[in-house]
Homo-oligomer: A and B are copies of this chain.
Amino acid sequence: MSSPHPPRLHPLLASRWSPAAFDGEHVVDPDEVTLLLEAARWAPSAGNSQPWAFIVGRRGDADHAGLVGRLTPGSRRWAPSASLLVANLSHRFVEGTDWEFSEFAQYDLGQAVAHLTVQARALGLFVRQFRAFDRDGLQQDFGVPPHWEVTTLMAVGRPLDQGRSQAGGARERRPVAELLWPPPSPTSR
């Protein structure tokens, strides 16, 4: 319990956490935004389907304001001060249609966001993902059709408190033994 990571976990992973508050003065430059998108872009996906898209708002621009407008009261307290607000879209299946889709759209979007998060760490940035927004309203405002889903939002920037004011409190995880199938106590799963 003393150290959350074994010594060899790569620093880009070991140093990742989800800030509870962001520095409202920090600015991400456009080249950094491009590089974050590049990281997502080169993520793997089922059959190279690349079932992802992003709405990127830099603090102060119109897309940022549009995203802020659909935050819930809870996320509106902390998310607008982040340097970026980004909506993460997955190309989803809609039953009864013949729209092309991937069974792995959400899984692959998760991978793309993870790759972006690793690149963010390489740039000294941190990411916090969240679901506290009005999905239908946001999709309407940005003209997102029903075969796309705004799956998550994320805030990207510098933490306000480098001393790790962490979303959700202390960093804890199930022990490795519980990640392996079969679990130690199947009834609890």
A interface residue numbers (CB < 8 A to B): 4-6, 8-10, 12-14, 16, 18, 34-35, 37-44, 46-48, 50, 52-56, 87, 89-91, 103-104, 106-111, 113-115, 117-119, 122, 129, 131, 142-145, 147-148, 151-152, 168, 171-174, 176, 178-183, 186, 189
| Contact A54/B10 with A38-B5, A107-B106, A107-B107 known, Cβ cut-off 8 Å | no
What are 23 sample pairs from A and B whose C-beta atoms fall under 8 A apart?
A6-B38, A9-B39, A9-B119, A10-B119, A12-B118, A13-B39, A40-B179, A41-B179, A44-B117, A44-B129, A48-B172, A53-B180, A90-B107, A103-B131, A107-B110, A107-B151, A111-B111, A114-B115, A142-B181, A142-B182, A143-B182, A145-B186, A145-B189
**Which chain B residue has the least Cβ–Cβ distance from A50?**
B174
When chains A and B are docked, how far (Å) is the Cα of A11 from the Cα of B39? Answer: 11
When chains A and B are docked, how far (Å) is the Cα of A172 from the Cα of B18? Answer: 31
When chains A and B are docked, how far (Å) is the Cα of A52 from the Cα of B148? Answer: 25
Residues in B neighbouring A182, C-beta threshold 8 A: 142-143
Nearest CB in chain B: distance from A138 CB, A = 11
Report whether A53 and B181 are in contact in the complex, using a CB–CB cutoff of 8 Å: yes
| Contact A176/B37 with A108-B110, A118-B12, A118-B118 known, Cβ cut-off 8 Å | yes
Report whether B18 and A44 are in contact in the complex, using a CB–CB cutoff of 8 Å: yes
Report whether A144 and B181 are in contact in the complex, using a CB–CB cutoff of 8 Å: yes
